[in-house]
């Protein structure tokens, strides 16, 4: 699939969201490609870990594709939210470790993908946040539940209510990521 690259090596699979020109934003095509890969992994015994990352040097995933979203009907928006919510639950429920390699910007749905993973490793240039409130919407993919479980209720409320981004150093300090690496 052109929207999602899958590379297997050493009993691991690297899933690379491949829409670098639009900062790996999530559209239906990318969501469906991710869903199909994750669903298949639930049944595979030869893969021991999953690494999710984004193509290019700028972005892990900048969230929902707002240009696509602007063309969607109310029903299609609801379908999009249900699709991402189900995908993230499926990632969280994989019986093998899932690592998000956050290279660059991870906003909204991008941060939610990372939150659904077991381990989050950020490059020094990472920037993360549930920035939806700046668009007068709420994180729809489960971030409002996962973020407080990972970093605590008070800090999660601050980040969600303000829509503030955190850099890699702050993400490590608050427990949002497990480790920082070079890009």
Residue positions annotated with a catalytic role: 64, 109, 112, 132
- The continuous run of DSSP H or E covering 99 comes out as strand 98-102
- How far is the C-alpha of 72 from the C-alpha of 22, rounded, in Å? 18
Residues 6+ apart with CB under 8 A from 130: 107, 108, 111, 112, 139, 143, 144, 147, 159, 160, 163
- How far is the C-alpha of 5 from the C-alpha of 28, rounded, in Å? 16
Q: Is 104 left (phi over 0), alpha (psi -120 to 50) or beta?
A: left
First to last CA, the chain: 25
Backbone angles phi, psi at 140, to 5 degrees: -100, -5
């Amino acid at each position: 699939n052109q929207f999602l690259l899958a590379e297997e090596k050493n009993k691991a699979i690297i899933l690379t969201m491949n829409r670098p020109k639009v900062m790996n934003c999530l559209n239906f095509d990318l969501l469906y490609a991710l869903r199909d890969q994750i669903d298949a992994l639930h049944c595979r015994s030869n893969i021991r870990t999953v690494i999710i990352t984004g193509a290019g040097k700028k972005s892990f995933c900048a969230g929902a594709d707002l240009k696509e979203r602007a063309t969607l009907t109310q029903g299609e928006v609801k379908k999009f939210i249900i699709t991402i919510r189900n995908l993230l639950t499926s990632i969280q429920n994989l019986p093998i470790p899932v690592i998000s390699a956050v290279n660059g910007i991870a906003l909204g749905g991008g941060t939610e993908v990372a939150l659904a993973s077991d381990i989050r490793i950020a490059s020094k240039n990472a920037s993360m946040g549930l920035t939806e409130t700046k668009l007068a919407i709420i994180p729809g993919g489960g971030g409002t539940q996962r973020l407080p479980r990972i970093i605590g209720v008070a800090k999660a409320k601050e980040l969600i209510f303000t829509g503030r981004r955190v850099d890699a150093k702050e993400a490590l300090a608050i427990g949002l990521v497990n480790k920082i690496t070079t890009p």
